Structure 1
Amino acid sequence: MNETAALALLFERGPLTRSDLRDLTGLSKPTASEVLRRLEDAGLAIVVGHASGGPGPNAAIYAANAAAGFVAALSIRDVGDTDRPAVAASIADLAGEVRGSVEVEVDFATVDAVDKIVELVGDLCRKARVPRKQLMQVQIGVPGSPDPRTGYIRYIDVPGFGRPGLLKDLRTRLRTEVAVDNDVNLAAFAERAHGVAADVEGFTVLWLAEGAGFAIDQGGTLMRGAHGCAGELGYMPVPATQDTPALEFQDLVGGPGVMKLGERFGLTGGTSSEVVAAAIAPDAPAGAADFLAALADRIALGLMTVVTLIDPPLIVLAGELSQAGGEPLRDAVVQALANRSPLDTEIAVTGVADDAVLRGALSSGLATLQDRLLTGLATPAHTP
């Protein structure tokens, strides 16, 4: 228990002296010394410097050993009409420092998903000069809903990822712990850790990209549902109107739907994100304002379900389309939702500028590994 408490403080607070550790834990001087010795012997703590300022020898400064274990994170993307590579991957040490990253084009219809992931993880380890035996966690984000009980992934269109036994095969081939999570859940993880939701009690993320996704954070805990399918807002049926047949929500606000809506208002582009960006550009065509209002009204249609059922303190607009629309799209959504709902729900644009799914996968994987180390369920591979 003492070693766990000391290591947790090194993870949380950073470098500490023996005196710092005693002040924070209440341990006696001999016990604090023994705890740090045992963490050093286990390869989990190292001396990173010495502090001076008093009589006697300088005090050693201890830190968690960042090289005691490594985490690999992969973001599997439903690229659709975007120009992004199909997979982004990074590897980081226990301190969260990224040691290597790659983005690659992959046609999963022509390669085996397990073979390709194993190959990518091997490439990452070689690039970062990390021995495979020190890779202790792999976190994968997918555009689908992994069942926490079976590992089976529902609602996924990427070939090869919807077959039974995928997670088991990955663990066997990689010979380490592997976790698979929904991409929007991981984006929410990044939003709480690095974005606009750091200090809120709870929030939701509406992900707008090739499709539409949703995540629910309740006090730092993500709601996944009994089958891992909580938040699949994109599959919500939308009744027919004068202008549209009966559809799913993602047909209205996902990439293809946005492209069609843009054409109606004279906005075109190579991707749906470019169409949205063109609508807020200084030289936007005459139909841009009407396009933005129409898109915002579609988004508000889905958000009404969220507001009615959950009443979240904050809704974060994330994904490529939300980033392309920025504050103008956010303002239009606020107005459209106000026309439908009596509640003054706060809406914000994502605060994560880079790849939120990959960043969330790294953060989630790191938290999982640190927890395993703290609970004694994992031992650094180099420990005798």
Structure 2
Amino acid sequence: MPASPSTARVINDRLALRLLQQEGPLTAGQLKQFTGLSRPTVADLVERLTAAGLVAVVGESGEQRRGPNARLYGIVADRAHLAALDVRTEGVSVLVADLLGGVLAEASVPIGGDTGTGPAVEQAVALVESAAKEAGAAPLHTVGIGAPGLIDPATGELRDSSGLPEWHRRLVTALHERLPARVIVENETNLAALAEQREGAARDRDTFVLLWLGHGTGAAVVLDGALRRGASGGTGEIGFLPVPGTRTLPSATDCEGGFHSLAGSGAIAQLAGEYGLFTGDTGGEPQAAVLVRRAVEAVTRSEAAAVAPAAEAVRATAAGAGRPASDLRPEEARRFLDALADRLAIGAASLAAILDPGCVVLGGEVGQAGQDVLAARVEARLARMSPLVTEVRAGVLGGGAVLRGALLTARDGAQDEIFAPPAR
């Protein structure tokens, strides 16, 4: 049954808007080429979208042709403004963007563990309000939030998870009350997977697992292009996975004794210490990420020096200036990375055995710091442990993947609402 004229118009308008989002400004002729629609149909939809304030002339094509240059049409980016939040146990980061995701302002605030619930919530909400004001983006249309813990798949609300600050849940309620904006909450690891799939290491994969390695551990599962959350929103809570090499078993309220005890930031820092790698102030970055990065640098320099000893010796001396000698011994750094890969392979192999994703992305600050040096080690161990072929990749967005994923989620939500046809 053919679509009615009104339905066809809606379909054509949404198609044109998605093309303008993906490709950037286009001429009417280019829209005709991409959509396969007739010239009069394209002219009508451009007129409708312009009248609705969704599309505007943003320039000319610059093509060499007789007569005037063709006008370029683009989405009106400031039609709506968005905010993205990365909520951690130690603070909040926020960015404000336009409808196309162009970043207008960024800010962060640390929130100490001894800060009361009310003051912590107030600091976080004030941060969002001030960032929006700085960007000239008030009122906000949609706010995307990435937070640790479980998201109830039925309500979309952050559940009361043991070990997380009370202000996390109160913040969501406060944002609903203080801002005239739609608020979308998602687990931080799921958002990181979305960002790595759209803009990072998994752009060519519609099935993969992201193994999050930051202050804590987690996993996100994407199968056939869809994020899988599970019956209670707990898919990927790998920190609670019972594993060998720990002294106890995890409980319903504490992941101590689970995979977190092998691969959390504190566990990795302790492992590094066993191999003589230490670090001081990390500037807020997870200590484990700093240690892994320095180990990778030491191994990389050693391997490069074996190829070009004289030239590399000069570079290594310069690069190592001011660093503790214990961080630069390549053999100990190599042994540390091998031991870490042994640990990570346990979690990755468990995921691969159940899901057969074909690809595991080592995400978060630690995964990014490990680069291909750590990823290759984990992949080699998986190949020995399982008959299932599993590629292991280093995440490229690091800890920033959560904030980026929150922005992508906010943008998608806002565009779905704004680009929707008007109610009849």
Alpha-carbon shift at residue 69 of structure 1 (Å): 0.8
Matched AA of 1:334: E
Give, in whole Å, the separation in 2 of the partners of 1:192 and 1:290. 31
Mapped contact 1:156–1:162 kept (Cα < 8 A): no
Q: 1:128 aligns with which of 124, 128, 135?
A: 135
Give, in whole Å, the separation in 2 of the partners of 1:224 and 1:291. 34
Aligned pair in 2 of structure 1 residues 227, 29: CA closer, same or farther (>3 Å)? same
Alpha-carbon shift at residue 43 of structure 1 (Å): 1.3
Aligned pair in 2 of structure 1 residues 340, 57: CA closer, same or farther (>3 Å)? closer
Residue in 2 that maps onto 1:159:
165
Give, in whole Å, the separation in 2 of the partners of 1:207 and 1:289. 22
Alpha-carbon shift at residue 53 of structure 1 (Å): 4.7
Mapped contact 1:278–1:284 kept (Cα < 8 A): no
Say if 2:72 is the partner of 1:61: yes
Say if 2:402 is the partner of 1:357: yes
Matched AA of 1:340: M
Task: Specify which structure has the bigger relative contact order, considering alpha-carbon pairs within 8 angstroms and separated by 6 or more residues.
Answer: 1
When the two structures are aligned, how many residues end up with a matched partner? 367
Give, in whole Å, the separation in 1 of the partners of 2:418 and 2:27. 21
Give, in whole Å, the separation in 2 of the partners of 1:156 and 1:75. 19
Alpha-carbon shift at residue 39 of structure 1 (Å): 1.5
Matched AA of 2:129: G
Residue in 1 that maps onto 2:4:
none
- Using the aligned pairs only, state the percent identity: 38
For residues 110-169 of structure 1, the C-alpha deviation after alignment (integer angstroms, 9 at most, x for no partner) is 24354333212211111111131xx21100111222112231335464412464x76454
For residues 50-88 of structure 1, the C-alpha deviation after alignment (integer angstroms, 9 at most, x for no partner) is 346555554322111111111110111234xxxxxx222
Give, in whole Å, the separation in 1 of the partners of 2:165 and 2:224. 35
Say if 2:268 is the partner of 1:279: no
Matched AA of 1:4: R
Matched AA of 1:335: A
Mapped contact 1:296–1:329 kept (Cα < 8 A): yes
Whichever structure has more strand as a proportion of its residues is: 1
Aligned pair in 2 of structure 1 residues 278, 342: CA closer, same or farther (>3 Å)? same
Unpaired segments ≥5 residues, structure 1: 80-85, 379-384
**Which of 179-188 and 293-302 deviates more?**
293-302
Residue in 1 that maps onto 2:29:
19
- Give runs of aligned pairs for residues 176-187 of structure 1, distance below 5 A: 176-187=181-192
Mapped contact 1:146–1:180 kept (Cα < 8 A): yes
Mapped contact 1:78–1:157 kept (Cα < 8 A): no
Q: Could you say what the CA RMSD is over the residues aligned between the two structures, in angstroms?
A: 2.4
Give, in whole Å, the separation in 2 of the partners of 1:26 and 1:324. 45
Mapped contact 1:70–1:92 kept (Cα < 8 A): yes
Give, in whole Å, the separation in 2 of the partners of 1:267 and 1:26. 60
Residue in 1 that maps onto 2:116:
110
Find the residue that maps to 2:385 and give its secondary structure: coil
Residue in 1 that maps onto 2:283:
none
Residue in 1 that maps onto 2:93:
88
Residue in 2 that maps onto 1:71:
82
Whichever structure has more helix as a proportion of its residues is: 2
Mapped contact 2:117–2:167 kept (Cα < 8 A): no
Give, in whole Å, the separation in 2 of the partners of 1:210 and 1:351. 17
Unpaired segments ≥5 residues, structure 2: 1-9, 250-256, 281-286, 299-327
Give, in whole Å, the separation in 2 of the partners of 1:290 and 1:346. 22
Say if 2:315 is the partner of 1:304: no
- Give runs of aligned pairs for residues 216-227 of structure 1, distance below 5 A: 216-227=221-232
- Give runs of aligned pairs for residues 342-353 of structure 1, distance below 5 A: 342-352=387-397
Q: How does the TM-score come out when normalised to structure 1?
A: 0.87
Mapped contact 2:218–2:236 kept (Cα < 8 A): yes
